[in-house]
Structure 1
Amino acid sequence: MTPTRTLHAPATRRLSRPFSRTLLAAATLATGVAMIAVAGCASAPSQFAYTVPAQPEGSSGYTEKPGWATEKFAVAAANPLATDAGYQILKAGGSAVDAAIAVQMVLTLVEPQSSGIGGGAFLLHSTGKTVEAYDGRETAPAAADEKLFLGADGKPVQFYDGVVGGRSVGVPGTVRMLEMAHKQHGKLPWATLFQPAITLAEGGFKVSARLNTLVKADAHLKKDPVAAAYFYKPDGDARDVGFNLRNPELAAVLRRIATEGSKALHEGEIAKAIVDKVNKHPTNPGKLSMADLAGYQAKKREALCHDYQVASKDFRVCGFPPPSSGAIAIGQILGILKNTDAAAKPLQDGIPSADWLHLYTEAARLAFADRALYVADPEFVQPPGGSWSSLLAPAYLAERAKLIGPQSMKVAQPGNPGAVKTSYAPMSDQPEYGTSHISIVDAMGNAVAMTTTIEDQFGARQMVKGFLLNNELTDFSFAPTDAKGQPIANRVQPGKRPRSSMAPTLVFDKATGELLMSGGSPGGAAIIHYTAKTLYGVFNWGLMPQQAINLPNFGSMNGPTLLEEKRFPA
């Protein structure tokens, strides 16, 4: 095996998940984020009235949690206040989509570093008969071009020189996507779903240990005067743990969106404030316009589903298609492993063996090699073989598996699943961080898996009207071509959605159609590994979902082998 590099679990790997097979399904989240779950019966009061719950202080480090079981419905999210908001919506008879909206609005307030109305999201929805994919990924402004992240010397700028400021901000899509999903699957009125977040923003929430730790550690957040005044005390220190942090500006924005819909964010006064914040940055301005915001459209796509067999059991695994790379990479890793003797290598003392890890990381290298070459916005890039499913074809994955030998390939080369060779060059590895994940099963049997992001922690470090703006454009390749001038599929282009690693996942029993799992994870490119690990742990090793989540983390992005710090023997 290759030399290994430490894989740090995200700062708050405090994990608990709802999980039930009694009436509906399982709701499961992959590793890497604080998850609190609550459950209850589905009695519906005639009118929704939000009650502010007790506000426990969250841990800022790793805390192992047991699983949870439910009878009627389940919700899991990255903060107890957000989870409770979803719970109260479900208890009032709301749908899974209703609950997801309430959760996201509260996360905008209490977990601002990871997601919010200034970012983008992917949402998978299942009614038990169909799986739908709602795309709220950010887009590049019309004035952006492939040289967006090139310096005066024509070379790519350093990562954080691109992140911090207005240059990295894409057109946000989360609210418009949620509005689309609500029109098709909402039960409670749109405005009702904003009550929890508005109440908390006006009354305040207690700063958690996690938020305090991240604010302290961030080197760029206080460069923005608005963010500095909100997140820091007058003496420059981070707001104390337990401080009651109010956000009346966000409450006002949410009231407008609750009343007027997504138009309130994408047009008028709020949109102008976003555009001014981006374009008037003193050192790193962007190229956003009012027309970009007004013209943003969420998209409904066909979910990317593939079969997965373990012994005599057949599963149907559904994920998000491009511009996400998550479902393809996870499907490739699992499919390649199936063509090795990985199944004959059980856990040893509760953790994966060195031999199994070798097979997994080699499969990951092969998957990430294909990801770097092929995956980008499908409006701009054609899939190899005419279909993204060509990258998951059993015959293709069997051929890829033959490349795995006793020694690491260190850096894998992409394959060619189609008859025509691609004209693109592979994208170099770039940092990816952040995001949040939400899994919900409602009392009607509908399920949501939604991964949501502003990209880096605290996004572009630009705060406007109480919320942070994304730096999603840094998910594009900074270099538009390789050294030979060959174009990179995931380069910046006007109106284009950047490639993502987000991997909301729904798993079904293929024979019965029963929903077995709603899953996903935060973690940038490591989302792929966190989610694949949990799927393999549950379905191949027979672990309970929480046991699979609690396994140490591992992976490779087609470079060094990554192992979670202090979780493996020396």
Structure 2
Amino acid sequence: MSGGDLRSAGRPARTSRAARLLFVALWLGAAQAPAQVPDEPERASGFVPKPAVHAPRAMAVTANPHATEAARSILEAGGSAADAAIAAALVLGVVEPQSSGLGGGGFALYFDRVAGRVEAWDGRETAPQAVDASLFLEPGGAPMAFHDAVIGGRAVGVPGVPRLLAELHARHGRLPWARLFDSAIRLAEQGFEVSPRLHALVAADPHLHRDAAARALFFDGSGRPLAVGERLVNSALARTLRVLARDGAGAFYGGEIAVAVAAAAQAGPNPGRLGVDDMRRYRVVRRQALCAPYRNWRVCGMPPPSSGGGTLLAMLGMLERFPLDRLDPDSAFPLHLFAEAGRLAYADRDAWYGDPATMAVSPAQLLDRRYLGGRAAQIGLDASLGRAAPGEPAAGLRPARAVEAERPATSHLSVVDAQGNAVALTASIEDAFGSRRMAAGFLLNNQLTDFSFLPRDARGAHPNRVAPGRRPRSSMAPTLVLAADGGLHAVLGSAGGSSIINYVAAAVVGLTDWRLPPDAVLQRPHVGSRNGPTEVENRPEGRQLAGRLRLFGHQVVLRDLTSGSSVIVRAGDGGWIGAADPRREGSAAGF
């Protein structure tokens, strides 16, 4: 790369030193051994490379083979992308109950090929009407410890998944609604073999057995977690699914199911405040998708209350100033730039994002090209920022600070149908096994812990503060990449808590700047920063990169960064290539 290239990529005054350090960083082996820290929960997986799958007409990639097969069969039967996504999401609630299900919420992007339109659907949980700003505060005003807030009904929000799926079907479904429940009902009634992942997560959880319904479902008569290969039968969930298949999603938000959800949330210890009337009030919101150019592409994501789309686009908007396509993707320098863009974007995420009703600035202000240019100018070519301060996109406003803990128990699926329509859907119950409360065969979420535990500080009220009816901030980032002609190029997203944004941003860079195949993108070691230490995946390739990043002044920690990505990319022959994350048990299939 020439000196002129370096000047166009960053601050001219540091070019000479940066060039010298770049040569050192690219060729030296690992320096000092980076620090190791315990991984976050919901990591019970190995790393098993999975080849990409090619199909000429349609493709589905989900977090579990049962769900992938359900989606594929719906597509082959003439179902739409929405139909296949619904069938897969329902199956995931049966076979991957720790991550998503009827008791959680989610976000979906829909690509309409004929109209060339991207739709954004907000199925995020809402706070009950009876909550107030003290929800996660101790009597003295200090924030509660995370699991003191999670376990029980205190953090249960009104679930959004059933109405989200119903809305997608009403707008874009082709097959009968009841048909989409067949696979999920069969697996719930007849059972499925417990996977190594599910067994390990049940065995590792110290709270799940306290709920009687969960104890009866996930443990044997002696109180031991069901062994790998044993059949898990969920008759209560099968009954609920049959009711929804027959009567529609409205049956979830009224009648016996709503009563059961409210009763489970209000039961002690640590009772919550969700009531039947909160269930009745719930609505899915259609929002304007956040879309922005990235080089020759157009990238679309979710708007608030998800911070996923905006933070992803902010990272890309900063990285666009650098010629990543001319850099070796396996070297440390572009990953240094990526981590620095992440610091700056996450700093703004933490300070400014929340429910759109409480945000003091708009995503448009945070994604303004001049604003992002100023943020990108803080990225040094030869040294890490360490910790970035949030920007001030509007005069007279002070950034807030938050106390929160977004957990990685989430599931993502990507689908493209034979007509070229697509769905990217990310759903979650928040922590692994959510609140550890069950109702009508499914686990209830703990999504209210995604609010800031401290509603305000010396700088003022936080945009992500708790309030009745509000939707907590999320990092879920279902994403669509469109080509210059407006055609669909890629459908992707991931699980992984607040790290989702880094995972998806890295995938977009890998697919567009480096033109890597999707399976190669997903096999790369994760590197990123959430405006703390630079997190590097604890694998041999990651450990080598960690040492090189330390030459740029990064404080590096090694983690088992268990993403859960599902990626579909248009193939050169007009078909589709699907790839599932090698860190989890997902799969791809098409026809």
Question: TM over 0.5, yes or no?
Answer: yes
Rounded Cα–Cα distance in structure 1 between residues aligned with 2:524 and 2:137 = 40
The equivalent residue for 2:274 is: 288
SS in structure 1 of the partner of residue 55 of structure 2 = coil
Say if 2:404 and 2:450, in contact at 8 Å, map to a contact too.
no
1:360 aligns to what? 338
The answer for the alignment partner of 2:586 in structure 1 is none
Aligned partner of 1:489 in structure 2 is: 463
Given that residues 435 and 452 in structure 1 are in contact (C-alpha distance below 8 angstroms), is that contact kept between their aligned partners in structure 2?
A: yes
Q: 1:454 aligns with which of 429, 449, 453?
A: 429
Tell me what 2:13 maps to: none
**How far off is 1:376 after superposition?**
0.8
Partners of 1:10 and 1:82 lie apart in 2 by: 23
Mapped to 1, the partners of 2:128 and 2:483 lie a distance apart of 42
Letter in 2 for 1:69: H
What amino acid maps onto 2:465 in structure 1? R
SS in 2 for 1:371: helix
SS of residue in 2 equivalent to 1:69: strand
Residues 8, 564 of structure 1: 8 Å contact kept? no
CA offsets per residue over residues 321-370 of structure 1, 9 Å max, x none? 011111111111122122245454312xxx3x222222211111100010
TM-score computed with the length of structure 1 as normaliser: 0.86
Q: How does 1:66-215 map to 2 (within 5 A)?
A: 66-128=51-113, 129-215=116-202
Higher RCO (CA-CA < 8 Å; seq separation 6+)? 2
* Distance in 1 of aligned mates of 2:257 and 2:233: 19
Q: Which of 385, 405, 411 is the equivalent residue of 1:409? A: 385
One of 298, 308, 311 as aligned partner of 1:326: 308
Whether the 8 Å CA contact 1:372–1:428 is kept in 2: the answer is no
Give the stretch that moved more between structures: 293-302 or 60-69: 60-69
Percent identity between matched residues is 47
Distance 2:255 2:280 in 1: 9
Give the alignment partner of residue 370 of structure 2, picking from 392, 395, 398. 395
Q: Distance in 2 between matches of 1:400 and 1:339?
A: 11
Letter in 1 for 2:412: H
Moved more, 240-249 or 519-528: 240-249
Other structure's SS at 1:294 match: helix
Is the Cα contact below 8 Å between 1:5 and 1:560 reproduced in 2?
no
Alpha-carbon contact 1:164-1:460 (below 8 Å) kept = yes
Q: Tell me the SS of whatever aligns to 1:454.
A: strand
**2:388, 2:325 → 1: CA distance?**
23
What is the aligned counterpart of 2:210 among 205, 218, 223?
A: 223
Shift of 1:210: 0.8
TM-score normalized by the length of structure 2: 0.83
* Residue type at the aligned position of 1:253: T
Write the distance in 2 (CA, Å) between the matches of 1:256 and 1:337. 49
State the shift of 1:6 in Å: 5.3
Contact 2:399 2:459 in 1 (8 A): no
The equivalent residue for 1:536 is: 509
Check whether the contact 1:364–1:557 (CA below 8 A) recurs between aligned residues: yes
Distance in 1, matches of 2:41 and 2:46, equals 8
Cα shift readout 1:64-123 (whole Å, capped 9, x = no counterpart): 111111111101111111111111111110111111111111111100000000000101
- For 2:478 and 2:444, locate their aligned partners in 1 and report how far apart those are by CA, in whole Å: 22
Decide whether aligned partners of structure 1 residues 330 and 469 sit closer, same or farther in structure 2, where only a CA change above 3 A counts: same
Would the aligned equivalents of 1:134 and 1:177 in 2 still touch at CA under 8 Å? Answer: yes
Question: Which SS does the other structure have where 1:435 is aligned?
Answer: strand
Q: Which moved more, 1:297-306 or 1:354-363?
A: 354-363
User: In 2, Cα distance between the equivalents of 1:214 and 1:447?
Assistant: 31
Specify the alignment match of 1:266 in structure 2: 253
RMSD: 1.8
CA 1:72–1:340 in 2, change beyond 3 Å: closer, same or farther? closer
Name which of structure 1's ranges 225-234 and 102-111 shifts more when overlaid on structure 2.
Answer: 225-234
User: Which residue does 2:328 correspond to in 1?
Assistant: 346
**CA distance in 1: counterparts of 2:267 and 2:71, whole angstroms:** 37
Match of 2:476 among 493, 502, 526: 502
The residue matched to 2:121 in structure 1 has which SS?
strand
Cα distance change, pair 270–429 in 1 and its aligned pair in 2 (3 A) = closer
Asked if the contact 1:207–1:244 (Cα under 8 Å) also holds between the matched residues in 2, the reply is yes
Is there any run of 5+ residues in structure 2 with no aligned partner, and where?
Answer: 1-24, 26-31, 548-591
Counterpart selection for 2:318 from 307, 318, 336: 336
